[in-house]
Structure 1
Amino acid sequence: MSWKTLTYFGDSMLLIPTAIIIALVLPWKSSNRHTVWYWIFAFCLAGFVVSVSKVLFLGFGIGSARFNFTGFSGHSAMSATLWPVMLWLVSGRATQPWRRCAIAIGYLIPLMVGLSRLVIHAHSKSEVVLGLLLGFSISTTFLLSQRHTQLKGFSLGQMSAALLLPLLLLGHGRIATTQQFLAHLSADLAGIDRPWTRADLLKLRQ
């Protein structure tokens, strides 16, 4: 598996539809009718924090030249929010050892996504580490809040239907334009001709 493929596990083009699938499935599979609202809040909170950090830098130059920080890595943060929950959901009726293994894989996937962002030079170490910490904090808080929730199992057909769209998106490989949208939005909000760049930030360190 290439680094480009791994990094796609943190792309909004894959994560947003998958998050919607989780929200649609939870009322059907969870014994707690509030679980879906906790999930929607958790995923939206991660997206909001990441977006605000990017707007602050792209529009107003608020970052850290010392730590080479221009905002949370969205791929790292959002994948760390989603995949532990996704694997928790689909392994709901598995035996305890298998369920722990599945959830561990849910935590491993974002770590690989974060590493891929470093390998392809998309983010600095501080952006990836803080993104992972943000996402893992949110997903772990969600999972702890649901530790007494009972989940119904998935039949093979249900599992296939739930995973069909994510698998199709992985095969297609289309990348979301979230960064470009935030760049234009930030420049408009700040009233500047162009958004701030990493190069602009690092000049402040010289």
Structure 2
Amino acid sequence: MGDSGLATLVTAAVVLALAIPKATRGLACRWAAAFVLVVSLVLATKLRLFGWRDGIAAIGFRGPSGHAAMAAFVWPMAGWLVTARASRRVRCVAMAVGALFALGVAVVLVAYGFHSLVETVAGGLLGGIGAGACIFAARSAQPPSARVTWLAALAVAVVFGLQHGSPLEPLRQLERKAHKLAAPYR
């Protein structure tokens, strides 16, 4: 649920759903910009730490976890979107469920040794701050219509069903190029 391919497609579905009505186009732009910023910060940090070889070994930090960042960014906001016309309590529960999904991703990453606790916390905080900023900005925005909310929920469900476990080829190509560039420095 923190896979960059899945998160990218879910984000695209959310941006599309928010961009359809005029009232939420500004929110769609903020959501897309925040996503690009979070992804760019994770990527820039990882590229910078390639130069340090293994990052900061004393604390087990090689850069914020992109999976934790994507999960913490995407799922709370998706929860907000699909419940945008519901009561405040329901929206809070949906965002909390999204945050619990993100926490589950972080726990799995640490439990299976993919990332250190420091890396997942850094990624989770980065993604969570991005999502929080978008949700905070959305609190005064007119929520999307019920049709758009259902469209977004359907798009997220379809994307999740079709993409889950399948890498996006452009992202894999970027990963291969980064490893090729870093190989001489290892």
TM bucket, shorter chain: 0.7 to 0.9
Q: Is the 8 A contact 1:76 1:128 kept in 2?
A: yes
2:160 is the counterpart of 1:166: yes
C-alpha separation in 2, matches of 1:160 and 1:110: 20
Letter in 2 for 1:166: F
Post-superposition CA distance 1:57-89 (Å, at most 9, x none): 224427211111001100001111111111111
Post-superposition CA distance 1:155-200 (Å, at most 9, x none): 5963334421222222xx2245747734633653x6x52x54xxxx
Q: Residue 152 and residue 181 in structure 1: after superposition, are their counterparts in 2 closer, same or farther (change >3 A)?
A: closer
Query: Of 172, 177, 182, which residue of structure 2 is paired with 1:184?
Result: 177
Q: Is the 8 A contact 1:72 1:127 kept in 2?
A: yes
Query: Of 107, 122, 145, which residue of structure 2 is paired with 1:115?
Result: 107
C-alpha separation in 1, matches of 2:76 and 2:107: 17
C-alpha separation in 1, matches of 2:79 and 2:161: 15
Structure 2, unaligned stretches of length 5 or more?
none
Q: Residue 30 and residue 109 in structure 1: after superposition, are their counterparts in 2 closer, same or farther (change >3 A)?
A: farther
Q: Residue 187 and residue 162 in structure 1: after superposition, are their counterparts in 2 closer, same or farther (change >3 A)?
A: closer
Which structure has greater helix proportion? 2
Query: Of 48, 70, 73, which residue of structure 2 is paired with 1:78?
Result: 70
| Aligned partner of residue 31 in structure 1, secondary structure | helix
C-alpha separation in 2, matches of 1:168 and 1:181: 22
Q: Is the 8 A contact 2:18 2:28 kept in 1?
A: yes
Q: Percent identity?
A: 29
Q: Is the 8 A contact 2:18 2:144 kept in 1?
A: no
Letter in 1 for 2:158: L
C-alpha separation in 2, matches of 1:58 and 1:78: 21
Moved more, 95-104 or 147-156: 147-156
| Aligned partner of residue 143 in structure 2, secondary structure | coil
Report the alpha carbon displacement of residue 53 of structure 1 after superposing the two structures with TM.
1.2
C-alpha separation in 2, matches of 1:144 and 1:157: 22
Q: Residue 164 and residue 183 in structure 1: after superposition, are their counterparts in 2 closer, same or farther (change >3 A)?
A: closer
TM-score after normalising by structure 1: 0.79
C-alpha separation in 1, matches of 2:132 and 2:168: 26
C-alpha separation in 2, matches of 1:93 and 1:109: 22
Q: Is the 8 A contact 1:91 1:153 kept in 2?
A: no
C-alpha separation in 2, matches of 1:30 and 1:111: 34
TM-score after normalising by structure 2: 0.86
Q: How many residues align?
A: 183
Letter in 2 for 1:28: I
Q: If you compute each CA radius of gyration, which structure gives the higher value, 1 or 2?
A: 1
Structure 1, unaligned stretches of length 5 or more?
1-8, 197-206
The corresponding residue for 1:5 is: none
Q: How well do the aligned residues superpose, as a CA RMSD in angstroms? A: 2.4
Alignment of 1:1-206 (within 5 A): 9-29=1-21, 31-61=23-53, 63-155=55-147, 158=151, 159-170=153-164, 173-176=165-168, 178=171, 181-182=174-175, 184-185=177-178, 187-188=180-181, 193=184, 196=186
